[in-house]
Every structure is written in C-alpha cells, then in structure tokens.
Amino acid sequence: MTALRPEQDGAGGFEDAVRGLDDPLNDPLPGQHPSPWFRAEEAQQEAAGGPERGEPEPEWYDPEGYAQDWYGGAPAGRQAPVRDDQTVALRTADTRRIVEPEPTAEPGGDPERETEPESGAPVPAEGRAARRRAAKKGGGGRRRASGAPPSAAAEDGGKPLTRVEARRAARAAKPTAGVLVSRAIGEVFISIGVLMLLFVTYQLWWSNIRAHNLAGNARHHLEDDWASGKGKPDSFEPGQGFAILSIPKLDVVVPIAEGISKTKVLDKGMVGHYDKDSIPTAMPDAKTGNFALAGHRNTHGEPFRYINRLRPGDPIVVETQDTYYVYKMASILPQTPPSNTAVINPVPVGSGFTTPGRYITLTTCTPEFTSTYRMIVWGKMVEERPRSEGKPDALVG
C-alpha cells in the first residue's frame, strides 16, 4: 500500500491514496504501462535507456485522455511539464469542470433582454445550445433572436434588437389611422384633379374638334340638298339647318339651324335662330323684322368668340338656298343681363335703330368662359342678291 505523504493527511489525502492503488482488473500485461496514468518522465527515460538519479519527480501525463474519460480526471493541479522537444500534446490534469453561468437579466430592465454574466452586454434571448452550435460553425458571434424580423437591425452601435424592441419598431413602422386617412384624402384630391384636367381638355380642345366636324358635315349636307333642289319648306324643324352664316373678317362660315337648343344646335357647332319655341324673330326674307341668332363664344366650335372685334361697316352675310343677304355691322352692346330680351325686338332696344327695318342680331355669352352676361352685335341689311347672280362682293373679296 502506498504510504500517505505529509500533504496528504486528512480526508483528501486518504482519497488520493486510495486512488493511487493499483486496480487488479486494469493491471497491464508485463512490459506495459501499469495504468493509463503513468509518469511522463519514465516514458522519456525508457526511450533514452533508463532513468537518471537525482532528478525531481515528474508530473503526471495522460497521452490519450483515458483518465479524463475513465476516472473523472487526473489529480487536481497536476500537469505534464512542457518541453520544446516534446511531440505529444499535454493536457491539464485538473478534474474540475468549468460551468458556464446562466445569462442573467438586468435588474429592473426588460425580462426578455438577457445580459452576459461578466460583461453585462445584452444578448439575444436564445439557449446555450444554440450559442454553442453557432460557435462550432465558426460564427464567433451570437445570432439574431429567432423572433426578431430581419428589419429589426440595430440602430446604435450595430447591436441587435430584442423581441420587445423589434415589436415596437414594427408597430412604429405601421401607418397610423391619421396617415391612412390623409393618404385616402390625397388620392381623392388627385383623382378629382385628374378628372378636372380631363374635363378642361375635353371642353377647350376636343369639344371644338367634334363641333367643327359636326358643323362641317351639316354644311355640306345642306349644300347638297340645295344642289338637288331640296330644302324649300315653309317652316323648319328644331335643329334643322336652313342657311349659312359668313363673317369674312373673322373667317367664320357656319350653318344656321332652327332653334337655340344647346344639345341639338349650339353644342354641335352651329348657330341657332330664335324661333317660336324661345322668342320668335323674323326670317331673313321678311320685309321688316329682326333676324336674331345665338352662338357659343367658347367651346363647341365657338363661332362667336371674336364678334367683339367687329367694327361698324364690317359685312355679315346670310346665305340661303336662293338668296344672299348682306348686312353691315352697325353697333355693339358689350354687356347686358340675359333677361334683357328687348335686344332682339323687331326694333332692337339699344341698337340705335328707331324705325322698323331689316336687321340682324348676334348674341353670345360674356365674359369668356362664363355665361353671366350677354354680348350683343347689331347689323342692318344693305343688299339682297339672288344666288343666280353669283356671290356678293363681301364674299368674293
């Protein structure tokens, strides 16, 4: 039996002495090492030819780590000496195991935010096994918490966010009710603006193109009827064309239809004759009376847009199937209420005419792009010329 050394007195020394006994079940064969624990110095001496006296007792050496696996570790504090000529690895014979402490939560802080036991740095809420697997893969760092979305990136210092912080960031990124309402209102305004732009484009551009085409077709159709001998009724139906108005100074040539209906006459680019359905006025062939016409100043062909540019003496010609009626502009009323119907009387009020005669009246809206007032232009007939005699000088020139 191995004698106890002075430093082995007590319970610990007894356990060391018992541990040092040879195990009969594990005794090696002759010539082999007595146990997995053998002296490193003896192994080297055997390789060199034998031990030398006077040398200090070497430390324990476990080449294969059997003692760690079979006996729970070498005696505490024992380690093989490290030499430059050793070609085998030395292992620590300390039987104590290092237990990694559990992560702790910061006092008074977020219970889901863990910290390192020594540094106090926050770490994601994940298990030690996951951290070990990440370390074995060579990542060297902690992975992002599985519950945190990829967008929950660190904002300060590159530190990852906790689950609670990630949720708060996700909630903050969601638009509030006020933002949604403002977006909806903005989209409504944008839609209204687009519709208004389309409407203005239609009114100022497309309506003119369409009206010019309709008026041109009506004019050609009327001229074809005249050439074939048609178009001599005693009265005309509302919307039916029966004459052509020419204003050479304004380069206007437009059909005249019966009635002043907006949809049937005016919006189609034609000018309308005040008939029995509105305020009856005379026809051009009447011996006395006022031939009153209405037309758009803006949009839908706008035939009367520039009648304010007419000056006294400028010709206005009305062409029918048999005759040319030539008028000369006499006066203008720049603005009057729509209720002033006296301007189309047989002797129009405000025109300067005082006795019955053969007159023409042109009416349109003013100011431009509104229908608040009416602008009135008057003229007096100066020539009646049959079509068989050719065009009058006003049209030839």
Active site residues: 296, 365, 374
CB-based contact 270:244 (threshold 8 Å): no
Distance CA 62, CA 36 (A): 7
3-state class of 313 per DSSP? Answer: coil
Phi, psi of 353, rounded to the nearest 5 degrees:
-85, 140
Phi, psi of 25, rounded to the nearest 5 degrees:
-75, -20
Give me the amino acid identity at 312: P
3-state class of 338 per DSSP? Answer: coil
CB-based contact 146:126 (threshold 8 Å): yes
Dihedral sign, Cα of residue 232, residue 234, residue 236, residue 237? negative
Number of residues in the chain = 397
Distance CA 396, CA 141 (A): 98
The count of other CB atoms within 10 Å of the CB of residue 314 is 19
As to burial, measured by CB atoms within 10 angstroms (0-12 exposed, 13-18 middle, 19+ buried), residue 212 is: middle
Give me the amino acid identity at 296: H
- The angle at the Cα of 39, spanning 35 to 41, to the nearest 5 degrees, equals 150
The count of other CB atoms within 10 Å of the CB of residue 295 is 26
Question: 257: closest CA among 301, 307, 222?
Answer: 222
Four-point Cα dihedral 163, 165, 167, 173, nearest 10: -150
In sequence order, which residues have a C-beta less than 8 Å from that of residue 132 and are 6 or more positions away?
none
Distance CA 165, CA 110 (A): 10
Residue carrying structure tokens 């018992």: 18
